[in-house]
Structure 1
Amino acid sequence: MPQLIRKQRRLIFVVTSLVFVLSALLSISLVLYLAEQGQLQKQRQVAANASDFAYALQQEFSRELSAANALAAFVRQQDGDTSQFDKFAQHLFPYYENVTALSLAPQGTITAVYPLNSNQGLLGHQIMTDATQAADAIASLVRNTVSVTGPYQLKQGGEGIIGRLAVYLDPALQDWWGLVNVTLRLADLNSLERLENMQQQGLLYRLTRLNARDNEPELIRQSDPGIFNQPIVQLINLGDAQWQLQLVPIKGWGDNVTFYRQLALAILFSVMLAALVAQLIQTRIHKHQLEALVNKRTAALHTELQRQKSFISASNAGSWEFKHLTNQLYGTPEYYALLGYDKAEFANNQPDNLHACWTALLHPADKAQACATFQQYLQFSEPDSIYENTFRMRHADGSWRWILSRGKTLLDENGQKTALSMGIHLDITARKEAELKLQLLARMFEQSSEGVLITNAEQQIVMVNEAFTKISGYSADEVLGKNPKMLASGRQDKAFYSNMWLTIAKQGNWQGEIWNRRKDGRTYPEWLSISQIIDDNDQVSHYVALFSDISQYKEDEAQIKFLANYDPLTQLPNRSLLIDRTEQALLHAERNSQPLAMLLMDLDRFKQINESLGHEIGDELLIQVAQRLRKLCRAEDTLCRLGGDEFVLVLPDADANGAAHLAERMLPLILQPYYLAEQELTLSMSVGIAMYPEDGQQFHQLYKHADIAMYKAKESGRNRYSFFTADMQQFHTRNLLLENALRRAIERDQLSLVYQPQYSMVNNQLIGFEALLRWYHDDFGQVSPAEFIPLAERNGLIVAIGEWVIVTALQQLAEWHRAGYRQLNMAINLSSIQFRQENLLQFVTNAIEFSGVPAAKVELEITESAMAEQPERAIALIAELKAKGLNIAIDDFGTGYSSLSYLKRFALTKLKIDQSFVRDLLTDSQDKAIVNAIINMASNLGLKTIAEGVETAAQRDLLKHLGCDEMQGYYYSKPLLADQASQFIQQAL
């Protein structure tokens, strides 16, 4: 063993040394290569800077010195005449921003320069004899391009460059005229500014001019002193001149700090790599040693596992193994046979097969819990803990089997958990189903809403459930061992119980309704079912009694029976019971030749009270009315509430006098005040009476005729009674026919409007029209508005008809306005029902906007009674209408409810004097006084007045004398159709 260890150590040393040497050689080579590449990269960057500078300088010189070509062209064009030079130079100079001076030198002597101010010293300068410039000037004579010379100290001060071009008037170059010069000041050149930036970028520079004679460099610009070691040299060709730029980094081409740092890292890397290789070799040797040990122990473990598997197979249970790391499940053939499967059907003992071999077979309701429990055991269980769980798995036949799964994670030699678990599956379906049945029975017994009482064969109580305690009030301890007789109420006699037990003995069970007594002494009804329990010897072992408290059922049954025949609000009989009792009373009256009266009663204006004060007040009012009516009834009478505010009273053996007498007592009784919610209310009633046998011999006939008579009473002024007559039947029939026809009047285009002119008394001029509704029916002919408008109000059609009137009248007014008669107004009547509509304001506003007529040209006429129904709402609504610009008039003023306290609060425009006052105005002093009072009151309130029904000139004159503002009537014109009204307008205006 020591020899083996020495051999291993020698191997590690040799390999490690070899790795270090090779790694060091490669690393140092890489460092040297990187240093060389860094220097080359830096040289390329510096060369690029030099090239960019050369290009910029060449471009700037080329651009600025091109002025010499322009001057030469000028001289040749002028054939050597320079008199226009200043003008030409003034035009040319702004195009060259860095040019200091433009000059002409005929025969080499400068005679003209621009600008003269700063360059006057150049005049008369002889270039050809100038010691510094003569050589360059002479050299330029033989070139046909601009010659760049300098830099020189300029006559005008500073250092500069001169671009010269020899000018020959003869193309053959034989006639030399002289020189044109372009002077550039070095300080003004933009490209030279780049040199300063280069020094800021860490570069030393030197810019020189190569002397054309000896090619020696002449310094132009230089950075701060420094060592120019291996500089980058850039030649710059500027015309016939050649400049040279030298660039070198201030810190030199190499970076010694970086180089030595990289070299140190390379050596450190080699050392670490050698150490890593040594560690890997050592690890590999150790691994081989461990593998040998593991193989030895695995063989022993395999032998033990085989022995354990033999035990499990012999126990007729399915066993399994699970490898944690690969999520791999292995099941024995018995594991799958337990569920009716063949092992070959599954990817058994394959990696990641847990889902296919276990999870996929779990019952959906158990899957989450089963998986969580298994994972919890694998991850968090103690080393010696046992895994156990129950769940359902799908059998091959589609059924579900309850499985008891038990297992354990294997431990290593140190007592720590390994990555392998083993266990078994046992089919416990039969046991589980038995447990579930027992649990279900126990829950049924305890949670049943029915009471359960079980006795032995001797009728001693052995078990009761919770429902028994709730129903009877007795706890289990109070009744166990006792006879159920203790619960008897005494309502059933001995014969009842004898028959009950006889039935149980014969049939094995009995059920029925029985009364028992609670612990507190109260009796209650229950539905009881008693059954025998027979043991294996066909003997009665127990009796089971199931019972439920049916007190609520009894109460509900009584309530349903009551609701089927009585009104829940007033406790009066309802329609169903009324019909039944009336039919019985009619049979009795027929057999005994007795009369019978039916009174149909309807409360007047109840709907208004109900809507304004609320349904709670309305309901209480109905209750009090019913109580008052009961006081008038005999025992044999039937008082009924049909619904809403309608009551019916049937009086057996009562003639017309008796019915009238009762009605006369009833009306003042109902009229007495009602005190509700700290309010005093008064209410009247209209009563219709139908008599048997004259008005009908069946309930429905009497009811129909009493209803007709009741409406007649309402039309006659309310708070009265009326007997049915044959004339009423005819009137009612006509009303029904008219009502049905009226429902189709709009769609059949039977309605129309006529327009009655209205005149102003200020200038006796036509100012507008009132729209009046007409209905012509093919069968009924022209139906009076006094007849069909009340019908429309009663059945709710007035809203749709009223909206049609508004739209049609506004369209007609818009047509007259488009024809040029924009001074005309339109008066439109609103019914009281229409006035109560919540959407009235919005509808009128939309209709006016759609028609396009000004709101100020529209007048809405509203009756006093409509305003008086809900005065506060009326005040608010009229104010909103007035705010929209509409005019508001009270129609038929003086004929309805008038209250000056409310009148002054209404935002009115006009009062309309009813024609009933105008008709006898000339003969009746009271009518005249009323009209005069209305006009004076309107004037004092700032309102206008209009009189309707004016038929004579005398009426007109008197009304005008009294101060009436406007009039309408047959004196001016009857109501006209639209076409007739249009012709009337043309004649009047």
Structure 2
Amino acid sequence: MDFQHNEHFRYLVETSPDPVAIHCGHTLVYINKAGADLLGSDTESLIGKSLSEIIHPDSLEESRNHVNKMLREGKPSNTRNISLIGKDGQRIEVSIKSMLITYLGKQAIHVVYRDITEQLRAEKELKESNELVTSILESITDAFFAIDNSWNITYLNQTGQKYLGRTAKDLIGKNLWEEFPSLLETRFYPAYHKALTEKVVVEFEEFSPLTKRWYELRAFPTKDGLSIYYRNISERKAAEEKITYYAKELEISKSQLQQLVDTIDAGVWSVDLRTNEYMLSQGIETIYGYPVQAFYDNPTFWKDRTHPDDMDLIGIQEKDILSGRASVHEHRIIHSTGEVRTIRNRITPIFDQSNNLIQIVGVFVDITGHQRMEQNLRESQEWFSTTLKCIGDGVIATDITGKVTFMNPIAETLTACKEKDGLGKNIEEVLHLVNEETRQLVTNPVNKVIKEKRIVGLANHTVLINKDGAEIPIDDSAAPILNDQGEMAGIVMVFRDVIERKSYEEKIKHYAYYDSLTGLPNRRLFTDRLTMALVNAKRTNTTLATMFIDLDKFKMVNDTLGHEIGDLLLVEVASRLITCVREGDTVARLGGDEFIILMQDIDQTVVTQVAERIIKKVSCKYNINGFQLFTTPSIGTSLYPHDGEDVESLIKNADMAMYYVKDNGKNNHHFFASFMNDKTERKMEIDKGLREALEKNQFELYYQPKMDLVTGDISGVEALIRWHHPEMGMISPVEFIPVAEEIGLIASIGEWALQTACTQCMKWQNSGFPSIRVAVNVSTLQFRQQNLVSTVRRILKDSQLNPKCLELEITESVMQNTESIHKLFELKAMGIYMSIDDFGTGYSSLSYLKRMPIDSLKIDKSFINDIHMDPTDTMIVTTIINLAKSLNLRVIAEGVETAEQLQFLKQHKCDEIQGFFISKPVPAREFEMVWTK
């Protein structure tokens, strides 16, 4: 295209907000007004100049080579950065994109410039902010290093290099344990491993075999690995002085700020109001992500891609267009990828000689990257300021003469001097330092940095005397702040109150490692001690024991007497356990009524003796707040190395042995054996799975019909719970109901079953099925719940089910408890049908049956199996039927599977039957088909 003879394109270029120039060879033959403004001149003065008069000498040679290459190869150029010469020799940083065109019949180069001076300035500010953060990290007196998730060293400050006697260049990228294998035999390895794998902060003191010194350490997890502070405390350790230093956590996230991509081409559009013709540039495709043809096909397509919240801005823009005013607007668009971007649209009206509006030209650029960069800069500055203000140490910055330029809140508190009062003052006026013992003035580290231009630490035994006269022992360091040229631009000083922090850290350490109720070590401290004990046992080839203890029937104490009494019982048990073990053994509380004991260098005989002492002492009567209580221990023990060689295996196997004792009578002790795995693991999996089965909707009710032997109709249905475990498959209620009762979940499961059954029964009635009773089993433990009656009443109300349509099946044992009998009468008063399940397998007094609010007896399946062959079963069943008739109770037989059984029961006037002969239990959707059939 010949630019000189294309009036339409010339309009676009001349009105473009971006500088545009045309070179023939190395001579400038055209530049638009935006380009002349950028260079601080006018178009007439610039045309005819050579590249050497426009391009800065630093970029001249590369630019000449680039021009020659384009002319030689005939290919356009990718975006690149160069420097131009502006007014008065000012250096202007720009990005450019070039392409070959025809100008006045000659081959020429068309260049579009973009001023990136401000962008480079912002990047420089970001870099300076990061350098300041790094200077602070390098200035702290603690040694600091970081490792990644593969144990490779990623950072080591100056103090750390001094301690280790090796440089960061030598260590960074190396594996910590491969470089220092002797640390594997110390506490360093298990502590760091715990922090990395469990994502918890670990604090401890340890003697280093590398330097023969004691260190105080803190390791805390980060996204990429661990950050570790450590401090030499050898002198204080040896002198047994009162203060130990813990490294203060200073988490400095080095955010990875995304750099702006190369300048994106501008989108150019125009509309000729005389012909209503559109012209669109390829830059639109880059900015929107859609083919240019889509905008030609649908003139409002761009509006459809405008962010809904910015449509009001489009309205303002359209008013400016119609009024013929030039304007600049910013609004958001939705890219083809779904990403929200921001564009700046410059609209220019074009008039003819009669001042009639004949054309509208728009040029828009994607400014999303620029906005993000500005936001990142603001966030970085805010983060840096907030970090310094929130850091637990005092921070004071000065200029190169030692005058204060910044104080964070901690510095204000420690010096008793507000920042506004300290700004501009010499550092000695704000930070008055003396030697704690000699009372002589201590040279301020800031002055040492000014003189020596290096990181300087504070001498030991230094005391800060603040404006209020208070004396505060401190520890600090000062470091120079360097600019890009390596010149000192200021000094930063970091200091701390060591006594206050030590007291606070001791409290945190206690809370983190000890049980708040009993004062015993908690799971975390026990795991640490077991880890160290394993290291020692491996080295000395000795045996250690892990003893897991669970209190029998402790939940009953909590449920009947309350958690306060239960807590007092746990405290007394903990006290007795301590008297049963040897000095040096660890007794810990894992939580609830679970305790665990660690015994080192021990054999099975001694373990058995300890277990026997525990059983004897724990089983003795307790007098707590006027109550006489009893509990017994179930104890399981695993031995190293026979039953496991790591922490997890030993605790798990001791737990399995304890469960084995629970399943075989309780109040006993057993060593772990391999045969326990399958059965105990199964029960443990059921225990664990039950705790989330309700939450994950794994339970389902199956329904088995009852048939009236007189009418032949379905007279009712029993709801039977089923558990669909995602890994173990269908689990029988016979297997999981006892576990649910043992761990206290039966009430929640029973409430769910009752709610689900009532809701389903009401759904059937609303669907046109006849009204029948739905029977739900209620356990003896549920009857002990104080809120059973109110729960049933609420469920009936929520489901809108008539109480007459609900049947509760109870066992004979319910009638042995006076409180449960009262609840039976309350439930019966509501109109609920009551029946005794598995009748004949327990013990029932005839007087109870006579006086209790019972409607029917349910004969257990075990009596029905051989009813037509076994004379004893025949007599039992006929006796139960006759008994029920004499008490005006209905009788139902369950487990009916054959026609012979059915005929016998019908002949002896049994009222109802239930069993596979009619239907097995099925889900609700299948039961409807059984009912209909």
Same fold (TM over 0.5): no
TM-score calculated relative to the size of structure 1:
0.38
TM-score calculated relative to the size of structure 2:
0.40
Which structure is higher in helix share? 1
Larger radius of gyration, structure 1 or 2? 1
